[in-house]
Structure 1
Amino acid sequence: MNERDIDPKIYELYDQYCHSAMERREFLSRAATIAVVGGSGLAMAEALLPKYAAAQTISFTDPRIRATYELYDSPGGNGAEEMRGYLVRPAGDGPFPAVLVVHENRGLNPYIEDVARRAAIAGFLAFAPDGLWPLGGYPGNDDDGKVMQRSLDRDKLMVDLLNGANFLKDHELSNGRLGATGFCFGGGVVNWLAVKMGADLAAGVPFYGRAPEDAGVAKIKAAMLIQYAEDDPRVNAGKDGYEAALKANGVDYEMHVYPGTRHGFHNNSTPRYDEAQAKIAWERTVAHFSSHLAS
C-alpha cells in the first residue's frame, strides 16, 4: 500500500499515535472504526507501521564504513554518568567532518542507524546517541521505545544528547567541525543544540522539528538548513515565527517546504516516505554539511 492509498483521516490518527501516549492496540482499534474510501481503515493503519528490515539502504557490514557502539561520559543526564551511541566512520584515516544524528521520540531505531550509515558513506564521522540507554537502550520496537522515552526526565535527556554532541566534536577522528541532523523530536533537538552550543555547532539540519523559542534564536551561530513537510500542521505552526526570528537575528539559514509531503517523509520504513522529495532533502543535507564542515 502506497502513500496515496491511505485516507487522510488515518494519517491524522497515526500522527496522534506517534506523538502521544496512545498504544498500538488503541490506534488499530480506532482506525478500524473509521469510514474510509477505497479500503479498510485497519489495513491502512497497519500499513503505516514501520517495516525496518525492508527499509535498510546501507548494510552495517558495508566495506565503505566501520560501525561500532561506543560509550561516552554524560554527567548530569539520565544515566549513571554514561551513555551509548552508534558511531559510524568512513573508510580512511580521517580526520573527518562530524555529524550528530538525533533520533525521533522512540530511541535509536534501525532507521536512525541507517541514516548514520548514509552520513558515513557521504564522508562524515556520524554518531547517533541512544537516549534510551539508561533504560537498557532501544527495546527493538517503537511502541515500547515511545513509552520508555516519555518516562525519561526530558531535561536530562537533552543533557545526554548535548554530551553526545560534545563527545563527537572532540573525537580523535573528528576534524572539530560539528554538524547535527535529526527527525521530529530529533529535529527539535537540533534546533535546541543550535541555540545551546552557539559557535560550537557549525551546521544544523532539522527535519520537521519543533522550533526553538524566539528569544534563543539570537544565540544561533550555525548555518541552518531547515526542512519541513508541506502537510504537517502541528510542526508547521511554529515555522513562520522561527523564520522571522532567524531573519531578525541575521542567522545564516535556508528553509525548504517539500511539496506533497507529510510529517516523516524522509523515513523510508513507512508509506509516509516520499522517495523523490526525501532524495532532494538528503542531497541538500549532504551538500550543506560538505560546505560548512570542511576543515
Structure 2
Amino acid sequence: MHKNNSPASTINIPQEAFDWYDEYAHGDIDRRTFLKRLGTLGIAGLTLSSISGVLLPDYALAEQVSFNDPDIKASYLAFASPEGHKTGRGYFVVPTGVGAETPAPAVLVAHENRGLNPYIEDVARRLAKAGFVAFAPDALYPLGGYPGNDDEGRAMQKTLERNKIEADFAAAAKMLTTHALTTDKLGMVGFCFGGYLTNQLSAMLPDTIDAAAPYYGTPPKLDIANIKAPLQLHFAGLDKRVNNYWPSYEAALKTAKTEYTAHVYPDVNHGFHNDSTARYHEGSAELAWQRTLAFFNQHLNQSGG
C-alpha cells in the first residue's frame, strides 16, 4: 500500500481547480490562463503558488518500487522504428530470475502527453515487481528525451506527429514479442494519451496485443472491429472530457463483440492513478492496479495464474 504525503490531503481543493488543471494539462488553456483562474478561487490562507504547487506533479512522491529493488533490474533500451522516428528508446525493467531459459510475458507501458516521467518509470517497475517484463518507451526520445518537467515535456510532445509516435510504440510492441527474455504474450497499459495509445495499438496490432488496459483513454482512430484483445478500461467518474466518448465506444465494442470490462471509479478525477499529483486517489488507484495485474495474469500467463 502506498501513502501519498502530498499537501493535497490537508487542502480542500474545489472541483473547478481540478477541471481547469485537466484543461491546462491537455492543451485547452495555457499556463497563464490556468493560474489566472486559480487566482479567482480565493481559498483562505493559500497563495496562488501554493495552490498550483499542490496540483502540479511532485515526482518525489512517485516511487512505489525503487530502481534498487533486488527483485528487478532496470535499464534503458534502444529499438529500431523504421516507420516512426527511426530509433526509439525506453525504460526496460526485468524481474530478477527472468532469462532466456525462463522468459516472462511482457507489458508495454504508454505515458501521458508529456514524455517518460518518473511516475511512468515507477509503473514499469511495479509491473516487473509483479513478474512481467515491462517496457516504457519515451515518445520524446527523438527530441532528446523527457526534459525533467512536465510543462516542457508537454510542449515538446505537441511538436511531434502523432502517427510517428504511434509507429514508435508499435515498433516497441513488436520488439518486445521477439525479445529473448519474453514469451509471445504481450499486454499494454497506458494513461491519458497513453490510454488512447493503448486503444489505438489494440486496433493497429490485433495479432500482437494480447490484453490491453487503457486508463482514461479516448477511443482508437482505427476501426474498433479490428480489436481482438480483451480490454479492461478504467475511467474516472469526474472525467467528463474522456467519459463523453465512452457511450459510442462501448456501443462499437458491443457491435464488434469485443471482450471488454469497464470500471468507473466514482468521485475521482482524470489522472487518479498518478500518485505524484493531488488528483491521486489511493483507494481507487490501488483497486484499479490490482484489477490490472489480475487481468494481465489471466491473459498473459500460460497457466492463467
Say what the alpha-carbon RMSD is for the aligned residues: 1.5
2:94 is matched with which residue: 82, 89, 100?
89
| 1:58-114 deviations in Å (ceiling 9; x for gaps) | 11111100001000000121x3x2110000000113310110000000000000000
Residue 37 of structure 1: how far off its partner (Å): 4.9
C-alpha contact 1:23 1:143 (8 A) present in aligned 2: no
1:35 is matched with which residue: 41, 49, 55?
41
Do structure 1's residue 140 and structure 2's residue 142 form an aligned pair?
no
1:41–1:206 Cα change, 3 Å: farther
Residue 13 of structure 1: how far off its partner (Å): 1.3
Looking at structure 2, the residues matched to 82 and 212 of structure 1 have their Cα atoms a distance apart, in angstroms, of: 24
2:280 is matched with which residue: 273, 281, 284?
273
C-alpha contact 2:233 2:262 (8 A) present in aligned 1: yes
Structure 1 segments, 4+ long, off by >3 Å, are 21-26, 36-41
Looking at structure 2, the residues matched to 285 and 204 of structure 1 have their Cα atoms a distance apart, in angstroms, of: 9
Partner of 2:237, secondary structure, is: strand
Looking at structure 1, the residues matched to 278 and 208 of structure 2 have their Cα atoms a distance apart, in angstroms, of: 36
Looking at structure 1, the residues matched to 269 and 169 of structure 2 have their Cα atoms a distance apart, in angstroms, of: 26
Do structure 1's residue 244 and structure 2's residue 251 form an aligned pair?
yes
Unpaired stretches in structure 1, ≥5 consecutive residues: none
1:82 corresponds to which letter in structure 2?
A: T
Map 1:186-201 onto structure 2 (within 5 A): 186-201=194-209
Looking at structure 2, the residues matched to 41 and 253 of structure 1 have their Cα atoms a distance apart, in angstroms, of: 45
Unpaired stretches in structure 2, ≥5 consecutive residues: 1-6
1:8 is matched with which residue: 1, 15, 38?
15
C-alpha contact 1:187 1:209 (8 A) present in aligned 2: yes
Q: Which residue does 1:73 correspond to in 2?
A: 80
Residue 180 of structure 1: how far off its partner (Å): 0.2
Map 1:180-191 onto structure 2 (within 5 A): 180-191=188-199
Stretch deviating more after TM superposition (38-47 or 92-101)? 38-47
Looking at structure 2, the residues matched to 276 and 285 of structure 1 have their Cα atoms a distance apart, in angstroms, of: 14
Residue 23 of structure 1: how far off its partner (Å): 4.7
Map 1:105-116 onto structure 2 (within 5 A): 105-116=113-124
C-alpha contact 1:5 1:38 (8 A) present in aligned 2: no
Do structure 1's residue 46 and structure 2's residue 53 form an aligned pair?
yes
1:75–1:21 Cα change, 3 Å: farther
Q: Which residue does 1:212 correspond to in 2?
A: 220
Partner of 1:2, secondary structure, is: helix
1:17 is matched with which residue: 24, 28, 35?
24
| 1:189-221 deviations in Å (ceiling 9; x for gaps) | 0000110111321000000001124x7111111
Residue 12 of structure 1: how far off its partner (Å): 1.6
Partner of 1:262, secondary structure, is: coil
Q: Which residue does 1:255 correspond to in 2?
A: 262
Partner of 2:205, secondary structure, is: helix
Looking at structure 1, the residues matched to 32 and 88 of structure 2 have their Cα atoms a distance apart, in angstroms, of: 32
Q: Which residue does 1:175 correspond to in 2?
A: 183
Looking at structure 2, the residues matched to 141 and 21 of structure 1 have their Cα atoms a distance apart, in angstroms, of: 19
Looking at structure 1, the residues matched to 241 and 217 of structure 2 have their Cα atoms a distance apart, in angstroms, of: 10
1:239–1:39 Cα change, 3 Å: farther
Looking at structure 1, the residues matched to 87 and 64 of structure 2 have their Cα atoms a distance apart, in angstroms, of: 30
C-alpha contact 1:179 1:202 (8 A) present in aligned 2: yes
Q: Which residue does 1:58 correspond to in 2?
A: 65
Residue 54 of structure 1: how far off its partner (Å): 2.1
Looking at structure 2, the residues matched to 41 and 27 of structure 1 have their Cα atoms a distance apart, in angstroms, of: 14
TM-score, structure 2 as length reference? 0.91
